[in-house]
Amino acid sequence: MLVHTINEVRECIKKWKKEGLTVGLVPTMGALHNGHLSLIKKSVEKCDKTVVSVFVNPIQFCPGEDLDKYPRTLEADEKLCQNAGVDIVFAPSPKEMYGEGHILSNDFLTYVVPPFFYVDKLCGKSRVGHFDGVCTVVNKLFNIVQPDYAFFGQKDAQQLIIIKKMVKDLNIPVEIIPCPIVREESGLALSSRNKYLSETDKKEALALSKILFNIKACYDKGIKDVDALSETAYGFLNEHHSLEYLEFRDKENLEQKTLADDNTQVFIALRIGSVRLIDNILLG
């Protein structure tokens, strides 16, 4: 069932809770692909009822980012959800979520702000305020849907770590279920933003997964020094790539590593033309 208002969602949730049913939430920005589908399938399997939110959240986009051209494919998304056994597709408008004059400064909106240590690095460094927008909307979705479980992809590993921290710090009664990265056969991690890539760009984009898989292979062979592991990346980069970051950090608290271990997550962000892609891998 496609639902556009908060009230309609609340009505259903009230009924389900009365019946003692468990609720799973899969927050998305739509343009659904098999990566999203893997989260949805997990929720449908684990929970009595599943809500998928489809909302291109304006407050998590920075000025100059792709808010206007972000792919919007609600009809196809709804079909995919229906076939997967989803109970509610919640697709609110920005006005429904943020009210009249909907937006966008923290002069007028209550924000949930994650700790500085978690956002001053990796994607947070170039996307200032992004994770404030993410935490705020996820918190709102938790309050609207009151899920027992919420499903997030490892694809956005920094986001997942920050959401787990928010849930812990704010005592939000939901269990976060992390879900593994779904990749194309080529290794490229599925992403709605892959739609921006030409065929040639797509080939260039393979550098992300190649770099990560190669680092993992080197680690498995016994190379632990982070500088040495980083160096191996340069063989995969060419003039079409602009490397934003390649960093080795703790998988729970994002502290930087100089020696890699089984708790080390490797994070990469790479620009190909105007398209910015991210990926990551856990070494352990």
| Residues annotated catalytic, as ranges | 36
Residue 240 DSSP SS3: coil
Which residue is nearest to ligand AMP, using beta carbons? Answer: 153
24 binds ligand AMP (CB under 6 A): no
State the Cα–Cα distance between residues 281 and 242, nearest whole angstrom. 20
CA distance 109 to 248: 35
Kindly compute the dihedral angle of the four CA atoms of residues 235, 124, 187, 182, in this order, to the nearest 10 degrees: 170
Q: Could you say which of 3, 28, 78, 97 contacts ligand AMP (CB under 6 A)?
A: 28
Which one of 51, 91, 144, 181 is in contact with ligand AMP (CB under 6 A)?
181
Burial 2-15 (b: 16+ CB within 10 A, else e): ebeebeebeebbee
Q: How far is the CB of 281 from ligand AMP (least distance, A)?
A: 13
In the window 234-273, what residues touch ligand AMP (CB under 6 A)? none
Q: Which is nearer to ligand AMP, 223 or 282 (CB)?
A: 282
Q: Pairing state of beta strands 149-153 and 23-28?
A: parallel
Q: How far apart are CA 71 and CA 58, in angstroms?
A: 13
Per CB under 6 A, 212 contacts ligand AMP: no
With contacts defined by CB under 6 A, how many residues of the chain interact with ligand AMP?
A: 17
- Beta strand segments in the chain, E: 2-3, 23-28, 49-54, 88-90, 149-153, 175-179, 241-250, 264-272, 275-282
Q: Verify binding: residue 190, ligand AMP, rule CB under 6 A.
A: yes
- 145 is a contact residue toward ligand AMP (CB under 6 A): no
User: Residues 24, 35, 114, 129: which binds ligand AMP (CB under 6 A)?
Assistant: 35
Per CB under 6 A, the segment of 16-24, 174-182, 224-232, 246-254 that binds ligand AMP is 174-182
**Given the rule CB under 6 A, which of 30-38, 81-89, 100-108, 203-211 is the region that contacts ligand AMP?**
30-38
Main-chain dihedrals φ then ψ at residue 193, nearest 5 degrees? -75, -10
Q: Three-state DSSP class for 233?
A: helix
The site for ligand AMP (CB under 6 A) is made up of 28-29, 35-36, 38-39, 152-153, 155-156, 179, 181-182, 189-192
